[in-house]
Structure 1
């Protein structure tokens, strides 16, 4: 049975990151679009898969899993031999990966959300606190990616929310000359073929939604 991915037709949010991992790993899958505007995620049938009524959700031959990060971990582990590893297997490498994953979720994600909010304040002459991005600059000056010298799903997780920071309030937070290592890392993520293809599909889907 081909894996089914339940997602919004706009291929946005967490759905986009799961799609990205599926593409990176060359995993066969089937789209099942869920129209959130019609509350299709709140039907009794869907709530049996995801009790919070959200997307994405996967059905892997009867195994139901929700939450973006959990799904991505599962896919990277199950299909370890497909495409780039995305999760290291060595003990110390795995520990570094878990460290980076914890930092992204518990430390950097809340900070970058705050940076985005402060970027809006910046249009009114208030300062934008970019301290967490400065820490990333130090880390990325020592290694190519967040968990080492190879990309992992932790790097890809940043594409869930960080692209919006690049254009908030007209301030380019992600590619500043003062953070060359951070900028190099960010541009490499954006240049990944699977991500570029996904962005093109999202644009097409958005046009269709407006017609």
Structure 2
């Protein structure tokens, strides 16, 4: 039974990161599109899969799993023998990986989402942007990226010198800032290490293909 991925039609957020892992691993899957406006995540059938009524969710031959970071880890481990490793081996390497994953979820992601809400979300909803709030959010994200600059000055990727799912986690919303809002905070000249890392992520062939084809990529692998 082919893996089913429940996602909204927009190629963004957790669905995009899962699709990236699927593409890196060449895992075939069937995208099941959920209409959020019609509250399809709040039906009894969907709530049986995800009690909080959110996407993404996967159904892997009857095994149901939600939360994008958990799904990415699961897929990377289950298909460890396909494509790039994406997860480290060895006690210390795993510890550094979990450290980087915690940094992304506790530092980068909350700061990023403040920028996203005041730029991308308001623009999509036709609401006016509060420039003072946006500037404050951008300053908060810049503080986090200043620390990333130090970390990435010592290693190629966020969890060490190998590309991993932690790097993929950063692709949920951040690429949309430059594309849809003209915000170039990820590639500022004062942070050359962040810029080098970020450019390597967004020009990775699988990500370029994902951006062009969305949820079609791994289904054709």
Q: Quick one: higher RCO (CA 8 Å, sep 6+), 1 or 2?
A: 2
Q: Distance in 1 between matches of 2:23 and 2:201?
A: 14
Q: Distance in 2 between matches of 1:75 and 1:126?
A: 33
Q: TM-score, normalised by structure 2?
A: 0.83
1:126-173 residue CA offsets vs partner (Å, 9 max, x unmatched): 983422111111111100000000011111111112224436864421
Which residue is 1:27 aligned to? 27
Which residue is 2:198 aligned to? 186
Change (3 A) 1:169 1:3: closer
**Structure 1 vs Structure 2 CA RMSD:** 2.7
Q: TM-score, normalised by structure 1?
A: 0.86
Structure 2 spans left out of the alignment, 5+ residues = 120-129, 217-221
Q: Distance in 2 between matches of 1:157 and 1:52?
A: 21
Contact kept, 8 Å, 1:6 with 1:56, in 2: the verdict is: yes
Question: Any residues of structure 2 matched to 1:16-55 within 5 Å, and which?
Answer: 16-55=16-55
1:89-119 residue CA offsets vs partner (Å, 9 max, x unmatched): 1111111100000111112222333456599
Which residue is 2:219 aligned to? none
Q: Distance in 1 between matches of 2:111 and 2:11?
A: 25
Counterpart check, 1:82 vs 2:82: yes
Which residue is 1:121 aligned to? 132
Contact kept, 8 Å, 1:7 with 1:33, in 2: the verdict is: yes
Change (3 A) 1:22 1:44: same
Structure 1 residue 37: Cα displacement: 2.0
Structure 1 residue 120: Cα displacement: 3.8
Change (3 A) 1:43 1:175: same
Which one of the candidate residues 152, 159, 166 is aligned to 2:171? Answer: 159
Structure 1 residue 38: Cα displacement: 2.0
Q: Distance in 2 between matches of 1:179 and 1:146?
A: 15
Change (3 A) 1:120 1:59: same
- Aligned residue for 2:186, secondary structure, equals coil
Contact kept, 8 Å, 2:115 with 2:134, in 1: the verdict is: no
Which residue is 2:63 aligned to? 63
Contact kept, 8 Å, 1:120 with 1:168, in 2: the verdict is: no
Q: Which moved more, 1:108-117 or 1:38-47?
A: 108-117
Structure 1 residue 196: Cα displacement: 1.1
